[in-house]
Amino acid sequence: REQDYIRELETRIEEYNPKNSNAVFFKDLPISNATLRGLKEASFVKLTEIQKNSIPISLKGYDVLGAAKTGSGKTLAFLIPVLEKLYRENWTEFDGLGALIISPTRELAIQIYEVLLKIGSRTSFSAGLVIGGKDVKFESERISRINILIGTPGRILQHMDQAVGLNLNNLQMLVLDEADRCLDMGFKKTLDAIVNNLPISRQTLLFSATQSQSLDDLARLSLTDYKSIGTLDIV
Ligand code: ADP
Ligand code: MG
């Protein structure tokens, strides 16, 4: 039955035409009941502009470069596709790391984690934070059981270099949040090193509050065949 429901969702996603979409409400999106309940319980009802423009494209499996100003709702724009991808893949706690979300600062990583706990409360995925401040070994022991990992660039690379705990072979989705800020903070090399060690077959979503040449360079390196979605004014 679950499998039938997933197939029905996949058909709805395929048939969904983002161009003449008027999905104003989350309940109009081809997403799972678990996510819909999580959204409703967190009082999210209507989509913001960047959510309206990017979520259907992300659900269809494209790589996305999303640019929209601070406060426009980019967190849900990537968390919903992450939850839905794992849901449709029948992801379980035994499948290991399915999604990696990179954020420039500890504070932002914690914010993403808190939103994920809210809207993911009706799913069975495990989520974790790696942001430094704790013993790497302590984190390593837990990391192997995590499905959705949120972390800062330096700390994630540190875990990758350790080669224990963190297994990226199965990774379905990479999210680079606040990518412009990651670049401003000097994380370019760290991001390149992380991206170069991830499976090519993954889907990647890159979000930013500004547009720049260095962001386009990062997009070219980390995204494949991507759709550029922006609600920033062209200047
Ligand atoms: P950004 O990452 O683009 O700066 P956030 O994802 O942090 O924006 O969202 C900014 C604020 O808007 C948060 O308080 C969040 O809870 C709220 N928000 C996001 N999406 C919606 C929505 N669809 N409906 C109502 N509030 C929303
Ligand atoms: Mg944000």
Give the number of domains in the chain: 1
> What ipTM did this prediction achieve?
0.99
* Residue range 26-62, pLDDT digits in tens: 999 999 999 999 999 999 999 999 999 999 999 999 9
User: Which of the two residues, 133 and 59, has the higher pLDDT score?
Assistant: 59
User: Which of the two residues, 147 and 140, has the higher pLDDT score?
Assistant: 147
Is residue 192 a part of any domain in this protein?
yes
Q: Which residue out of 24, 39, 72 has the highest number of ligand 1 atoms within 8 Å of its CB and is therefore the one to mutate? A: 72
- 230 phi and psi, to 5 degrees? -135, 145
Is residue 119 a part of any domain in this protein?
yes
**Structural domain harbouring 13:** 2-230
CATH of residue 126: 3.40.50.300
Q: Which residue has the tokens 């809210």?
A: 118
**Which token pair is 199?**
């499976």
> How far is the centre of ligand 2, averaged over its atoms, from the C-alpha of 109 (Å)?
9
Q: Which residue out of 48, 112, 115, 182 has the highest number of ligand 1 atoms within 8 Å of its CB and is therefore the one to mutate? A: 48
Closest CA to 166 of 194, 207, 189, 186: 194
Is residue 17 a part of any domain in this protein?
yes
Is residue 235 a part of any domain in this protein?
no
pTM > 0.90: yes or no:
yes
